[in-house]
Amino acid sequence: MFGSLKALPADPILGLLAKYRKDTNPNKIDLGVGVYKNEAGHTAILNCVKKAEQHRLTTEDTKVYIGPTGSELFNVEMANLVFGQNHKVLTENRARTVSAPGGTGALRVAAEFIKSCKAGATVWVSNPTWANHTGLFEAAGLQVKTYPYYDYENKGLDFDGMLAALKEVSSNDVVLLHACCHNPSGMDLNNVQWQQVAEVAKSVGFTPLIDMAYQGFGTGLDEDAYGLRLMAETVNEMIVCSSCSKNFGLYRERIGACTIIGESALSVDIASSVLLSVVRVIYSMPPAHGAAIVETILSSDELRNEWHSELKEMRDRINGNRQLLVDKLIENGVTRDFSFIARQSGMFSFLGITPEQVQQLQDEYSIYMVGSSRMSIAGIANSNVDYLAQSIAKVL
């Protein structure tokens, strides 16, 4: 059976990480992997997470399944975090949330749910989008098309192109939108633009699928959810996939959530039964440990406040790194305008150099980023930013 198989190329980011680890240059810099790192280059466990884990260690008394929906408390707390406690989709009882194995698991559940609603449906994703989006949807048998988003030449948002494309989308289609901290460009819609997109969604009738992997990493927990909450107020049906990997630092715990919004409590109950049947045949029951950590933090005033403080520290460090790199490039005589980096949000940005220059940075200076010049801002530190800026200046 296996004899006809041919080896597939390795994931480019994982391949980049393997090269970085083998590199013996003491000045090497990893700007490829999309995980938060502190000034020392370490992805530490949050203090609030440690405390929540200790609480779980002393109170957990069973390892029995928690059911396909996951923990009820986790689902409630996540819905409140995503939408805000008094959002009308919650007060009107029109939202149903299930736990999922990470944001990726939530997206795959959403994809299979969409297929159950309309086999062969088309999902529109931004150009560019997270590399795994297309594979996830195509693996579920869905069609994937792109709408304009990032303007590579002007290093900004092609909003006119985006809006024009969305107006031509079919009412039976699904449009994926990044809630905040767009991966990989770092370019987000502003509030006015979100209002226009929401109006188009209502007018055209397509179903928004909003991926929120970085809530709290942009401007703030509520600010980053502005577009998502506005869209939920505007349309009758919507899907939201959220992740706890980044803002809680729970990368390896694999915990996220998939939320569906219906026109009424009755219609969303029907949809939820289909959603749960999808869960049943993919992974049957979700993992419990990460959910228990998150619900413990969010349901405790003390731990939630500590989380807010730690999250702000991570957010401020990322935003500070953006401006720091821009300033250092200027200090090193770079005349090209890189100010767009400081205007973006989240973990990523396109540096805007050629693939050949990206390869030169890797070969000659041991600086690793994806060939598109997408770089992870969290990999920048006070200890390496001078070397990074000097290397970029030489390559330019």
246 part of the active site:
yes
Q: Dihedrals φ, ψ of 50, to 5°?
A: -55, -45
Q: Which amino acid is at 222?
A: D
Task: Give the active site residue among 130, 158, 173, 188.
Answer: 130
- Rounded distance between C-alpha atoms, residue 368 and residue 4, angstroms: 35
The residue assigned the tokens 């680890």 is 21
Establish whether the linkage from the previous residue to 128 is cis, with ω within 30° of 0.
yes
Q: Which of 30, 246, 307, 328 is catalytic?
A: 246
The answer to whether 230 and 239 are in contact (CB under 8 A) is: no
Owner of token pair 């300033």? 327
Sign of the CA dihedral with 163 first, then 164, 170, and 174 last: negative
Please spell the DSSP secondary structure of 25-83, one letter per residue. Answer: -TT-EE--S-S---TTS--PPPHHHHHHHHHHHHH--------TT--HHHHHHHHHHHH
Given the residues 30, 158, 211, 224, select the one marked as catalytic: 211
Instruction: Check: CB of residue 74 under 8 Å from CB of residue 99.
Output: yes
3-state secondary structure of 235: coil
124 is catalytic: no
Whats the size of the chain, residue-wise?
A: 396
Residues with active-site annotation? 130, 211, 246
